[in-house]
Amino acid sequence: MAMVGGMVSLVTGWLFSLEGLLLVGSVALLYYFLVVSVQRYFAERGVAHERPSSVLGNGTDFLLRRRHFTDVLEQLYRRFRRHRFFGYFDFLSPIYVIRDLELVKQICIKDFDHFLNHRIQLDENHDPLFGRALFAMRDTRWRNMRAVLSPAFTGSKMRQMFGLITAYCEAAVRTIEGETAGTGGYADLEMKELFRRFGNDIVATCAFGIEINSFRDRTNAFYTLGKELTNLDGIQGLKFLAFSSFPRLMQLLRLRLFSDKMTRFFRHVVLDTIGQRERKRIIRPDMIHLLMEARKQELKFDENGNVVHHNGTANGSEMDGIGPSKRLMDWTDDDLVAQCTVFFFGGYDTVSTLSAFMAHELAVNPDVQRRLREEVDEVRTALAGAPLTYETMQSMRYLDMVAMETLRKWTPAPFLDRMCTKPYVLEDYDGHKVQLRKGDGIWIPAYAIMRDPDLFPEPDRFDPERFATDGKGTVDPSTVLAFGIGPRNCIGSRFAIMEVKAVFYYLLSRFQLEMAPATQHPIRLKVTSLAPSAEKGFWIRFRVRQPAA
């Protein structure tokens, strides 16, 4: 006791010494400049906001695992309904959250030139997989790569890949059916896991040119590493958030978003496949082939580094006198690997999330499932045993409506982000103006917007009829932000919809989806995951359908 008393008086004595007072004063000043003055950012600009209670900013409840991220953002979205935008502290970074849909369109489409980039910033040499991928690219480099990749995602290219998807789906569904043998004709399956396997194998065949069946070979390297690569749960989710919130600090600390092991694995797969194809002159209708063609393409650039199209325009704008300074785009091997890996980042977790929520909604809304099964059966009868074709898949309107309603209600990407690249003025409903500077961050709360009852009446109701195209639909599809909006929208949206439609066509041909004893309904979102996911998993009973009498 006497010893503790002695220590306390020693520390108090030191604190009141000159050095002690200097240290305390410096810490207080540092705290003031780093925290208090930063937290006054929106107040000084007259922007509506909620004063954060800690250095974690307005996301404290999410970061401390108390509420899901969508919940935090949705609550603020509702609270500031009288404003076109409000302020949000992402830790200590001020972000402008845009509530008003017209302003969203203005920023992402009309005035896109002021908001070209995402906030994430990665060193492309240090983190080559994601740093060189389209999502993370910036400015002219992004424009050029987008121009180069876009032709690989057109309807005609999707049609070429469709056969790979249907062949895989037929085999996968047969394997799942095999699992129900001896169990009374049904199996209770976890949907996120099931659709991760579907997604993994489809990415493997369409992007990397490799044929795998993860239902049979359950621990293949592609599956385990892909799962790790796209995992937004726990530490990896926080790491992803940190790279988006503190890009410069992460660069300074030389931290990597992805491990060396992953980078080596994917580099090896892509470069090995390319080598084999070149040696053996193999042509397969997949992404690697399209990228190899794109690399060969004689793409030209003007003196400002913009792609010059064959019609003589630079990225869509008129170009006069294309001079001799044109040059070809240089593709490194890492650029190629990164664009293939984009299928994993962009399409693997998002598509499996969409499919898992869709299976859940079909199981808990039997009327919707019945109508969808009727559409599937009509198509099967018309095809008389032949595989689903791209054109027939496109004609399945109700399947489209179900997928769109799932995307509206459970968007896999709960917010979009942009960074201001040129000064811009935001104006609130009352005429109050705020000057944005280069580097300011923007968020678009897609999840909250698509659940706003003023835009989507009864937002919690799963109602595919909102998307009916016979004049009865109430939704303007441009208000659905699940694939983003404007020139920086999702390049893979066609691929995603094609994949989901094919997978559900084959699944519903063989199975009826029902609630299982472990189904959690209504779903509660898992607070540890950045992307929406069910707290207790998505358990669904797959019952083998009896052939029609």
- Positions at the binding site: 490
- Whole-number Å distance between alpha carbons of 366 and 514: 8
Rounded Cα–Cα distance for residues 428 and 304 (Å): 36
Q: How far is the C-alpha of 517 from the C-alpha of 502, rounded, in Å?
A: 28
Residue ranges at the known binding site for heme:
490
Using CB under 6 A as the binding rule, whether residue 488 contacts ligand HEM is answered as yes
What is the C-alpha radius of gyration for the chain, rounded to an integer number of angstroms? 26
Piece of 88-96, 426-434, 482-490, 502-510 that binds ligand HEM (CB under 6 A):
482-490
Residues paired with 443 in a beta bridge = 97, 417
Q: Which one, 173 or 356, has the nearer CB to ligand HEM?
A: 356
Q: Is 413 in the site for ligand HEM (CB under 6 A)?
A: yes
Provide the token pair at 257. 């978003």
Q: What is the rounded CA–CA span in Å between residue 432 and residue 46?
A: 8
Q: Is 503 in the site for ligand HEM (CB under 6 A)?
A: no
Closer residue to ligand HEM (CB): 86 or 115: 115
Between residues 176 and 500, which has the closer beta carbon with respect to ligand HEM?
500
Residue 9, CA distances (Å) to 218, 339, 512 in order: 64, 63, 75
484 makes contact with ligand HEM (CB under 6 A):
yes
Binding pattern to ligand HEM, positions 436-475, x when CB under 6 A?
----------------------------------------
Which one, 342 or 508, has the nearer CB to ligand HEM?
Answer: 342
Which residues from 119-138 bind ligand HEM, rule CB under 6 A?
A: 134-135
Q: Which is nearer to ligand HEM, 495 or 539 (CB)?
A: 495
Confirm or reject binding of residue 416 to ligand HEM (CB under 6 A).
yes
- What is the Cα–Cα distance from 105 to 116, expressed in whole angstroms? 14
Residue closer to ligand HEM, measured from CB, 101 or 491: 491
Q: What is the DSSP letter of 387?
A: P
Site for ligand HEM in 330-359 (CB under 6 A): 342-343, 346-347, 350-351, 354
CA dihedral 468, 470, 474, 480 (to 10 degrees): 50
* Paired tokens of 114: 């002021």
Q: Does 191 bind ligand HEM (CB under 6 A)?
A: no
Binding of ligand HEM at residue 483 (CB under 6 A)?
yes
CB 407, min distance to ligand HEM, A:
6
Query: Cβ(1)–Cβ(7) under 8 Å?
Result: no
Contact with ligand HEM (CB under 6 A) among 172, 194, 206, 490? 490
C-alpha dihedral over 315, 319, 322, 325, to 10 degrees? Answer: -50
- Check: CB of residue 308 under 8 Å from CB of residue 331: no
The residue assigned the tokens 């669904």 is 540
Contact yes or no for 492/161 (Cβ under 8 A): no
Cβ proximity to ligand HEM: between 493 and 528 the closer is 493
Of 465, 508, 471, nearest in space to 374 by CA: 508
Neighbours of 117 (CB within 10 A): 18
- Region of 15-23, 162-170, 224-232, 481-489 interacting with ligand HEM (CB under 6 A): 481-489
Q: Is 482 in the site for ligand HEM (CB under 6 A)?
A: yes
β-bridge mates for residue 328, sequence order:
300
Which listed residue (87, 94, 412, 532) binds ligand HEM by CB under 6 A? 412
User: How many residues at the interface with ligand HEM, by CB under 6 A?
Assistant: 24
Strands 424-427 and 511-515: unpaired
Binding status of residue 495 toward ligand HEM by CB under 6 A? yes
CA distances from 487 to 48, 136, 345, 423 (A): 29, 15, 19, 19
Of 180 and 352, which has the nearer Cβ to ligand HEM? 352
Nearest distance from residue 95's CB to ligand HEM, in Å? 14
- Judged by CB under 6 A, the stretch of 377-385, 450-458, 487-495, 532-540 that binds ligand HEM is 487-495
Minimum Å gap between C-beta 545 and ligand HEM is 26
**Helix 333-364 and helix 191-206: axis angle, to 10°?**
150
| Joined tokens for residue 229 | 């690569």
**Closer CB to ligand HEM, 416 or 513, in the complex:** 416
Taking CB under 6 A as the rule, does residue 112 contact ligand HEM? no
Q: How far is residue 366's CA from residue 369's CA, in Å, rounded to a whole number? A: 5
SS3 breakdown of the chain: % helix, strand, coil, rounded to 5? 55, 10, 35
Q: How far is the CB of 38 from ligand HEM (least distance, A)?
A: 26
Residues 138-157 that bind ligand HEM (CB under 6 A): 146
SS3 label, residue 318 = strand
Q: Which is nearer to ligand HEM, 269 or 482 (CB)?
A: 482
Tokens (6 digits) for 232? 């937004």
Query: What's the closest the beta carbon of residue 141 comes to ligand HEM, in angstroms?
Result: 11
Cis status, amide bond into 522, omega within 30 of 0: yes
Candidate residues 496, 502, 531, 534; the one interacting with ligand HEM per rule CB under 6 A: 496
Binding mask 12-51 for ligand HEM (x = CB under 6 A): ----------------------------------------
Task: Closer to ligand HEM by CB, 428 or 452: give it.
Answer: 452
Half-sphere exposure of 311 (CA within 13 A, CB side): 5
The site for ligand HEM (CB under 6 A) is made up of 134-135, 146, 342-343, 346-347, 350-351, 354, 412-413, 416, 482-485, 488-492, 495-496
